[in-house]
Amino acid sequence: MMQNKVLSALPGMAITGFVGFLIGAQFSAWYYPIVIALVGVLIGFAVSSFGGNWFFLFVVMGALLGGLLATYLNGTASTFLGAEIGGAIGGFLGVNVKIFKGHL
């Protein structure tokens, strides 16, 4: 039972761990990417455990669009920052869409 739960949570854990790694890479200390990636993995497991796999679709779409937009506007130096911000905004919008979907 627990093994199935962990296996179904792996995509979400990978997505939030990778976004956490990108965010941590913006800081100067070497251990920040690792620590924040581990926090992202835990958050991904928690969200997946509660059935929020749809949430990760919005995070991935936001990260891709944010990275592409930042690259277009400011060049490749801003790609990672745009992907990080886009992923965060995509997750925020995904939660709001899910909340208000039943109320509209």
Q: What is the pTM of this model?
A: 0.74
What pLDDT does 65 receive? Answer: 95
Structure token pair of residue 73 = 């506007």
With b for 16 or more beta-carbon neighbours within 10 A and e for fewer, the 17-32 pattern comes to bbbbbbbbeeeeeeeb
**pLDDT at position 104 over 60:** no
Structure token pair of residue 74 = 């400011």
Dihedral class, residue 75 (left if φ above 0, else alpha if ψ from -120 to 50, else beta): left
What pLDDT does 6 receive? Answer: 78
**Total domain count, the chain:** 1
Higher pLDDT, 34 or 5: 34
**Residue numbers of the domain that contains 47:** 2-101
Contact 59, 43 (CB under 8 A): no
